[in-house]
Amino acid sequence: MDKPQEACGVFGIISASGGGDKARPAADAYHALFALQHRGQTSAGIAVSDGGGIRYKKGDGLVQDVFDGDVLAKLTGHMAIGHVRYAARRGTSGVNAQPLVVETLGEHIALAFNGNLTNAGQLRIETENQGGLFQTTGDAEIILYAVVRKLLKTHSIETAVLEVMPLLKGAYSILILTRNKIIAARDPHGFRPLCVGTRGDETVFASESCALDAVEAEFERDVQPGEVVVASPDGLKSYSSRAEKRCSLCAFEFVYFARPDSVIDGQSVELSRYLAGQCLARRSPADADVVIGVPDSGLSSALGYAQESGVPYGIGFIRNRYIGRTFIQETQGLRERSLKIKLNVIAPVVRGKRVIMVEDSIVRGTTTSRVVSLLREAGATEVHMRVSSPPYMHPCFFGTDIPNRDQLPASRYTVDEMANMVGVDSLAFLRLEDLPDTMPDLRVGWCDACFTGEYPVPVASEKIKTV
């Protein structure tokens, strides 16, 4: 797989009145998780509360694999949280499916988490030394243990979360479900998105605004970096962790992770990608007959490139949306065959033509050369690749599965060498100095450490530059 994969997506909904159809919150979570499916395809889960206990269902697979009508009918309550997960580098076992659910002091707690803790190893060891026994290999259980320990002392879930936040280093957007409230928390750097919406007397939380659209909720605002928002029958309350940090929303949300119809911290994802394409056209033109984009995140940038350059736009690829995670295959031959099933060229668009192929990124580079080969086989006479992000040169420690620089060709080869590797006639990337121009409406700062190596928090490597 040539892309980094994002860790998770979260969703929550609560009715202030506690009335209405108690089957609807679970159904809403189900539909919202479909909208967030791009953020994780390894497992899915939903937990609900009716003011008594918490019922939940989770399992491996896509949302449609885990839930059906009978399962959803049993998940009744006036509030729910949901989760979709991508298996990052610390394991793929089904025990890591979320939400995680515990009972302590007569209180039921469910937690859903998106992100990655850079001090997870230290916190796990400290918990084990205090007698904690872990059932999973993910960071969510570490956070849950920390919250429960604070809850035993404070007897307030809000206070517990606020006291835990300074202990957590790295990226996290969290939803916690109790008997009668939902707590949302976003790390002080705001690495991962989290927003709030409303529908009648209901409060809705989601990783992306596209999930609000899926349940016909109105976007209200983003959860601010370092903020804790509590939704209960008493209304909505906001608390600050009082952690003064540099805001560092992941820039790759706009490059690849997020759906184009989402708006994150004021910035339209679709517009950001379109503007990146325009920047590329101005900086890196090419004599060509057609501009095409690699689905899905390259399409908007390709359109921007075409309209800025005057080269006609064409639909060069068709993506099969009904195929699963075909990149997980045992042999290279099977992987290449799976790619052709997943992505096919519309030959009449490219045959006999000089093609500009716009892609969102080159990360590992494992499939890019095969995509170029598909164009050559379909009759393209030239292929000029334009990448709508700067070279991906450094590993990410905040929720994506790029653990070291050895997997990143941009950190080891020149642009011309990479062009030869993937088999294109020319290759150009978005310039780092143009990155701000692709996010003109963003209301917070961003993290571009994967491009620059300048990390907003210390990470566990002496070879990494931290700021």
H or E stretch covering 373? helix 368-377
The active-site residue, picked from 8, 247, 279, 396, is 8
Give the list of residues 6+ apart from residue 153 with CB closer than 8 angstroms, or none. none
Which residue in 159, 162, 182 sits closest to 236, CA to CA?
A: 182
Plot region of 255 (φ>0 → left; ψ -120 to 50 → alpha; else → beta): alpha
CA distance 375 to 370: 9
Which of 358, 464, 332 is CA-nearest to residue 411? 464
* Sequence-distant (≥ 6) Cβ neighbours of residue 8 within 8 angstroms: 39, 40, 83, 84, 85, 86, 98, 112, 113, 114, 115, 207, 399
> Residue 152 burial by CB count (10 A; 0-12/13-18/19+): exposed, middle or buried?
exposed
Whether 8 is a known active-site residue: answer yes
Q: How many residues does the chain have?
A: 467
Please give the full DSSP string across 61-76, using - where no structure is assigned.
Answer: S-HHHH--HHHHHH--
Kindly report the CA angle at 154 between 148 and 158, in degrees rounded to 5? 75
Residue 281: partners with Cβ closer than 8 Å, 6 or more residues away: 304, 305, 306, 308, 309
Residue 269 tokens read as: 């994802």
Pick from 142, 187, 145: nearest CA to 166: 187
Q: Identify the CA nearest to 399 among candidates 158, 161, 115, 129.
A: 115
CA 334 to chain centre: 27
Cα four-point dihedral sign 377, 378, 382, 387 = negative
C-alpha 189/C-alpha 244 separation (Å) is 9
Q: State both tokens at 237.
A: 């309350």
Kindly tell me the sign of the dihedral angle through the C-alpha atoms of 56, 179, 95, 184. Answer: positive
| Rounded CA Rg of the chain | 22
Residue 233 dihedral angles phi and psi, to the nearest 5°:
-60, -20
Token pair listed for 95: 């025990």
- The residues that are catalytic are 8
